[in-house]
Structure 1
Amino acid sequence: MKISIPLQCTLLIIVSILSIIIVFISQLMFVNPFTSSWDQVDFTLAVSRFDLMAMQPHFPGYPFFILGGKMLNPFVKNPSEALTLFNILFYASSIFPVYKVCRRLLTSSYSWFSTAIIYSTSYCIIMVNQPMSEGAALAAFWWYFWSLLFAFERRNSTYILLPLGLLSILLGIRLSYLPFAIGILFLFYSKLKNKTTTWRELIYFSLFGLAFQACWVVALIFSEGSLTGFIKLSLAFTSGHFNDWGGAIETSKISFFERFFIFTWDNIVWTGIAARFAIIILIYIILLAISKKNVPAHPVMKLVYLMFSSYFIWGLLAQNVDKARHTLPLVVLIIFFLCSIIFSKKGSFLILTLSLFLLGQQVWNDVVLLKAEATERPAIYKMNAFLEKFDEPIVLYTWEETRVLQYLHAPYTHKRIETFQFFQSDSKYYRGKTILLTDKVVKGFRAQGISLDSKISKVLSFQSNELFDPVYHEITLYKWEGN
């Protein structure tokens, strides 16, 4: 029996909304209770006491994200879960701007369908359900993206204030999204070109934009005590943040082509779009192969190209490619672009069937992954449980793991170490105790040219899901046998 077009559209909208509801309810049911990385500890501690000097959180402060956690903390009584819940609720609000942006290119039914696909992207959902700023930043990004189009389409130039204000919220959640400010320049250029505003008005709007940003920057300066102290803190953070050995891939040790491959394939495609499910990539490839590949001619696409390009360059050259979460805005822009191509014309039965399967697969993956993220202990939690029951006095030398162990109130001695020279000097004070090293410390020593083959022995390894813990999904303990 052939289904009429109106009924097909109605069913497509119902399926899309149901899919969004299932994912949203799953997010609330499986709120991640773990705080398993340095950054997560920084954010969580900041909910109780905001102190940049104590790295609660680390620079630049992420004030609007922390504010969201503070507002919800009285209701959940758990700072980490409060941040995650803020992510979930704010991300759910992005359904409106995503739909509105899609609606400029697609029919109502396909706009809902595209919104459901974008919203349920599995890696995005995983990151939203962590006490990290990425989830809230992704929501703020969509609101900002929509506001640019909204202001672009209005002849009244006063509406420019809307994206300027939302850009302040976006950067106050995640400053690394600064390249998206190019959207404001695009808006200014378009307004001048269409003669709907003047240079004098744009100067006024620019001042308003600076004032909006100053709202959170000045607040951070006051929290630090002085402008001088704030600048010193920012310089101290930025000078060491990308250079310390340990969990990160060092730019100097991999070629540009290796970095490009990791960034594009591993981070954006394999992890970001597919969440490491080959079936997702296969479906997208087939859909693109059988679609008519019509790219809609609309200002929204110019904005997509511009914002994608600016952030891509920034992410490739300035971000830590060891962490795929830095590519999230690129991931959603690509999926939006793919949906605009696949659904720009009336799709065939095969396209519709494959697209429904894609959405169903993502929703299923979301539920499974959310449950795993909320119930399976991270590797560092497993290591801590093992060491708490260790039958000998121990001292553990770590890299970033110490931050989490401090948060967990580990009862044994643990220290963050950076150089082998200091380790040799410090370990002398612990004669009679079992000295343990994590694999990140061993890696760091070897990077310093130290041969450890006869000085260490493997004790045990602990694993967790790499999607949840990209750097510390596997931790290996070594016993120090040297003198």
Structure 2
Amino acid sequence: MELTSDDALNFSRGVERFSVLEFRPHFPGYPAFIGLSRLAAIWIEAAVASIWVSMLSAMLIPLLVARLVYLLSSSWPAATLGCVLALMQPLLASMALSGLSDSAAIMVFLLALIAALQQKHSMVGFWIGLMLATRPSYLPLALGMAMLPCWGNYVGSKIRAYLQASIAIAAIGSLSLGFIWFHDGAAYFEEGIRFTQGHFTIWGNTVEGDNASLWQWVEALGKGFGWLGLIVVLVSLFSAVIGLASAPMSKSLNFRNQASRRQQLALTAVIAWLYWAWITFGQNPDNLRHWAPVLFLFLTVLPVQLAGLQKIFEASRLGVVAVSVLGICPVFYCLILGYQNVQSAPSQAPIQQAMSWIRANPKVTVVGTNYSVNLLRAQLGSHAIYDMYYPSSKLALVNAHKRTPQSAWRLSGTRLTDQQLVTEFSPRFIGERRLFLYQISQ
């Protein structure tokens, strides 16, 4: 297992010694993910413990999707379809090998949603607290779940439900804050202000091109999942919300249960829309892993909708066959999409490919990069690595080229028009960034 980014390196270092001020890891600290990684480090090497946590968490996601689908549909075929579709996602493999907190946070979010459907209020708060301590940017998911007691045939006191969940969230939040305060003290909050300002003004939303953020996300998702796939996601989530308006109103217990499940399905879609809106304006379209919660919520909604169609047309043999075909189509689509991604996929992450290429070419001694600066410095100790965020780095590369031709090179996550492209390093899965290597010629 190999580290694939600076963020993964930060988590790896945080397992050994935690300090947000030293970017071990970066703000906001992700204390629950660090805790899980330290637990894993009891049995495995600390340097790769975070990768094991993300991989094991990713392995549980398809099973949790299946459980959610079954709770919403009471259909084993639908639950199986949800599990298979989740398991076939290339983005799941990308998150599993990233060493980042995405898959662990999605895992506990799905557990929270399962507990909410079962009306286990304290467990809902426990899982939401862990989710926020694992990946605080998932706050919109928690806010969406806060609507659940107000929807459907929720049994018992709503005030008690909120109180029990809030106590559990506050307990985990206090433990997390205490852990961070013990290591960094009040300086943690100053770092938080600096990091947040930088995320929204400098590096967090830096993307290729000058289009609006919304269209950048549309283009990125279209390239990653195909335009047909994106259209299906939009139609499915939209119809789940619209379907709430036509929920049957009756005193019949059967109809009330159907209405409650449609409301729960609609809320699942609303949570997906809420989070999608957040990442559109607050996250980088270059990293498709930010879209993963929307993807797995969609993979929960779609099988439930197909199960509903199956019940509607169960009296018609032709209708049952048509719905079965509709269920098979997404499987084939994922197979085709996955095959296109893995048929020529390299065995290493792009940054590891780049480092292997650099090691194999002794003439390369100076490298400027805007991607994985610290990882390159950590694993290429004999090379001079310059961060291209600083204007002086460009001058340093030009001077190095003048002193020793062919010694200075530029690694970039975007295409550059003013340099000579030598090679590029392909991603293994959706969610990894293609890297380009240039030789400095001026």
TM-score over 0.5 for the alignment? yes
**SS of corresponding position for 2:427:** coil
Aligned 8 A contact 2:150 2:158 in 1: no
Shift of the 121–392 alpha-carbon distance from structure 1 to 2, 3 Å rule, reads closer
Distance, in Å, in 2 between the alignment partners of 1:42 and 1:428 is 31
Q: Could you tell me which of 424, 428, 433 is aligned with 1:462?
A: 424
Distance, in Å, in 2 between the alignment partners of 1:205 and 1:283 is 34
Structure-2 residue corresponding to 1:261: 215
Matching of residue 90 in structure 1 with residue 51 in structure 2:
no
More moved, 332-341 vs 354-363: 354-363
Matching of residue 223 in structure 1 with residue 190 in structure 2:
no
Structure-1 residue corresponding to 2:247: none
Q: Could you tell me which of 383, 408, 421 is aligned with 1:412?
A: 383
Deviation at 1:367, TM superposition (A): 8.6
Matching of residue 332 in structure 1 with residue 306 in structure 2:
no
Structure-2 residue corresponding to 1:109: 77
Shift of the 84–350 alpha-carbon distance from structure 1 to 2, 3 Å rule, reads farther
**SS of corresponding position for 2:440:** strand
Distance, in Å, in 2 between the alignment partners of 1:312 and 1:282 is 15
Aligned 8 A contact 1:46 1:66 in 2: yes
Structure-1 residue corresponding to 2:438: 477
More moved, 236-245 vs 132-141: 236-245
Shift of the 89–478 alpha-carbon distance from structure 1 to 2, 3 Å rule, reads same
Distance, in Å, in 2 between the alignment partners of 1:327 and 1:51 is 28
Shift of the 246–395 alpha-carbon distance from structure 1 to 2, 3 Å rule, reads farther
Deviation at 1:368, TM superposition (A): 8.8
Structure-1 residue corresponding to 2:90: 122
Q: Could you tell me which of 3, 7, 10 is aligned with 1:42?
A: 10
Structure-2 residue corresponding to 1:323: 287
Aligned 8 A contact 1:35 1:41 in 2: yes
Aligned 8 A contact 1:463 1:475 in 2: yes
Distance, in Å, in 2 between the alignment partners of 1:441 and 1:133 is 22
Structure-2 residue corresponding to 1:385: 356
Distance, in Å, in 1 between the alignment partners of 2:198 and 2:42 is 35
Counterpart code for 2:410: T
Shift of the 264–106 alpha-carbon distance from structure 1 to 2, 3 Å rule, reads farther
**SS of corresponding position for 2:18:** coil
Shift of the 35–52 alpha-carbon distance from structure 1 to 2, 3 Å rule, reads same
Distance, in Å, in 1 between the alignment partners of 2:275 and 2:13 is 30
Counterpart code for 1:222: F
How many residues get paired? 413
Aligned 8 A contact 1:117 1:359 in 2: yes
Structure-1 residue corresponding to 2:320: 348
Distance, in Å, in 2 between the alignment partners of 1:314 and 1:280 is 21
Distance, in Å, in 1 between the alignment partners of 2:413 and 2:77 is 53
Q: Could you tell me which of 362, 365, 368 is aligned with 1:397?
A: 368
Matching of residue 243 in structure 1 with residue 193 in structure 2:
no
**SS of corresponding position for 1:53:** helix
Deviation at 1:260, TM superposition (A): 1.8
Shift of the 355–286 alpha-carbon distance from structure 1 to 2, 3 Å rule, reads farther
Q: Could you tell me which of 214, 217, 234 is aligned with 2:174?
A: 214
Shift of the 404–355 alpha-carbon distance from structure 1 to 2, 3 Å rule, reads same
**SS of corresponding position for 1:460:** strand
Aligned 8 A contact 2:66 2:80 in 1: yes
Structure-2 residue corresponding to 1:313: 277
Aligned 8 A contact 1:397 1:441 in 2: no
Deviation at 1:334, TM superposition (A): 1.9
Distance, in Å, in 1 between the alignment partners of 2:124 and 2:380 is 43
Aligned 8 A contact 1:384 1:410 in 2: no
Distance, in Å, in 2 between the alignment partners of 1:260 and 1:148 is 31
Matching of residue 164 in structure 1 with residue 117 in structure 2:
no
Unpaired stretches in structure 1, ≥5 consecutive residues: 1-32, 152-158, 447-451
Aligned 8 A contact 2:129 2:172 in 1: yes
Give per-residue Cα distances to partners, 1:413-443, cap 9 Å, x unaligned.
1121324356437966896244625254998
Give per-residue Cα distances to partners, 1:368-390, cap 9 Å, x unaligned.
967976x5233333333333344
Spell out the pairing of 1:133-144 with structure 2 (5 A cutoff): 133-144=101-112
Shift of the 394–54 alpha-carbon distance from structure 1 to 2, 3 Å rule, reads same
Structure-1 residue corresponding to 2:142: 181
Shift of the 439–113 alpha-carbon distance from structure 1 to 2, 3 Å rule, reads closer
Deviation at 1:460, TM superposition (A): 1.4
Structure-2 residue corresponding to 1:156: none
**SS of corresponding position for 1:130:** coil
Distance, in Å, in 2 between the alignment partners of 1:209 and 1:119 is 30
Structure-2 residue corresponding to 1:64: 32
**SS of corresponding position for 2:422:** strand
Give per-residue Cα distances to partners, 1:64-104, cap 9 Å, x unaligned.
22222222234343633x32332232333345543332123
Deviation at 1:202, TM superposition (A): 4.5
Distance, in Å, in 2 between the alignment partners of 1:460 and 1:48 is 37
Aligned 8 A contact 1:376 1:464 in 2: no
Shift of the 183–420 alpha-carbon distance from structure 1 to 2, 3 Å rule, reads closer
Shift of the 264–145 alpha-carbon distance from structure 1 to 2, 3 Å rule, reads farther
Structure-2 residue corresponding to 1:197: 157
Q: Percent identity?
A: 16
Compute the TM-score of the two structures, normalised by the length of structure 1. Answer: 0.73
Shift of the 178–199 alpha-carbon distance from structure 1 to 2, 3 Å rule, reads same
Deviation at 1:38, TM superposition (A): 1.8
Deviation at 1:360, TM superposition (A): 6.0
Compute the TM-score of the two structures, normalised by the length of structure 2. Answer: 0.79
